[in-house]
Amino acid sequence: MVIRRMWKRCCLAQDRDLMCHIKTGFVLLVALTLSLSIIYFFYNFSLNPVKDPHNWFNLLNQSYNVVTEGLSGKKFVWNFVSNQQIIQTTTAQKNNISVHHHVAHPSNYHFILDEPDKCSQNPFLVLMVPVAPHQVDARNAIRSTWGTESSVQGKAVLTLFLVGLTGGPEAQQQLEEESRQHRDLVQSNFVDSYFNLTIKTMVIMDWLATRCPQANFSMKVDSDMYINMENLMSLLLAPNTPRQNYITGFLMWNQNVIRDKKSKYYVSEELYPESKYPTYVLGVGYVFSNDLPKKVVEASKDMKPFNIEDAYVGTCLKRLGIKPSRAPDPSQFRTYMKDSKGHDLSKVITTIARSPNQIIEFWQKVKRHK
């Protein structure tokens, strides 16, 4: 009997050990499966380019989310940052380059407000004005002056404003109301800041390439610029003005790359290793044949972006083998005028105004002397 009881205890102990081993093995198997699933998820995620990178920012400061409703009735989640510097750590699928090198490429963004049918009337010239969402006075000054012209020398002209994220639901609501009123606003989902001007410019190029490829010419022009539309159109209609691979404005020659980290114009050697930029056109206002936007967007896929937007466009053009053209009369593309009262505004194409009111003053002065 004693031997039989001892044998039963031994069998029960062995059964418990076996069950214990089975349970342990099962737990380990589940844990291993979960681990492999997590590793696969992050590996797969890291190889896919970010379609909407402003939702995946690693922020240097705090952020907050706000839900608002757009014109289409769709709800959007906004991610606003108190410090607009952004770090992007994801890896692109193509050629294994860090996405922060590709963050300026317009495929990473989408349009929130859009005017996709604006070019249905086949405009000859489209003027795209990058402007901050809150700068209503600047937009209204342009709308009441050179931006009001829809036909110049018998050619159809279109003016549109491009903005980024507003900074809050109330500001977004006001922007949408402005859009309903004027139908001249295009908005994309990038953080609207000085350091994102390259993104802004590339989104402009993308809009022109995808929404308005039938236009003959386009112009990227800052919101503080006075444009003499008659002189601009005369330049574009001149028989010796090319209709392809053409860009002109205030040319910047032999410009050094700023390496001083305290300067807002600083560009690191990692992003642009050469000591000088190629010849480029000053970003305050340049006009180009409308075949270029698609080509520039395509070239930018392989170009590391940096925050000097006009020089960046210049590097894309260099990659394409396209050189900016010197204007027939370079003095027509001006920066600030030392003496605007004494200068003949009727001869310029562009000049910088110091305020929205001065845009109106320049416009009225030229109209009075016609």
Q: What are the sequence ranges of the domains in the chain?
A: 121-166+182-368
- Identify whether the C-beta of residue 330 lies closer than 8 Å to the C-beta of residue 251: yes
Looking at the predicted structure, is the pLDDT value of residue 185 above 80?
A: yes
Give me the phi and psi of 2, to 5 degrees please.
Answer: -60, -45
Q: How far is CA 342 from the centre of its chain?
A: 38
Read off the pLDDT of each residue in 256-279 and give the average, rounded to a whole number.
96
pLDDT in tens, 48-75: 433 333 332 333 333 333 333 333 333 3
Q: Which helix (H) or strand (E) holds 103?
A: none
Residue-level pLDDT at 339: 60
Read off the pLDDT of each residue in 205-221 and give the average, rounded to a whole number.
98
Residue-level pLDDT at 101: 54
Indicate the CATH number for domain 121-166+182-368: 3.90.550.10
Separation CA 144–CA 360 (nearest Å)? 8
Give the bridge partners for 86, in sequence order.
Answer: 59
- What residues contact residue 170 under an 8 Å CB cut-off, 6+ apart? none
| Six-digit token string for 93 | 């699928």
- Identify whether the C-beta of residue 279 lies closer than 8 Å to the C-beta of residue 285: no
- Identify whether the C-beta of residue 150 lies closer than 8 Å to the C-beta of residue 187: no
Neighbours of 71 (CB within 10 A): 13
Looking at the predicted structure, is the pLDDT value of residue 256 above 70?
A: yes
Residue-level pLDDT at 72: 32
User: Which of the residue ranges 42-46, 138-142, 254-258, 356-360 would you say has the lowest mean pLDDT?
Assistant: 42-46
Residue-level pLDDT at 104: 83
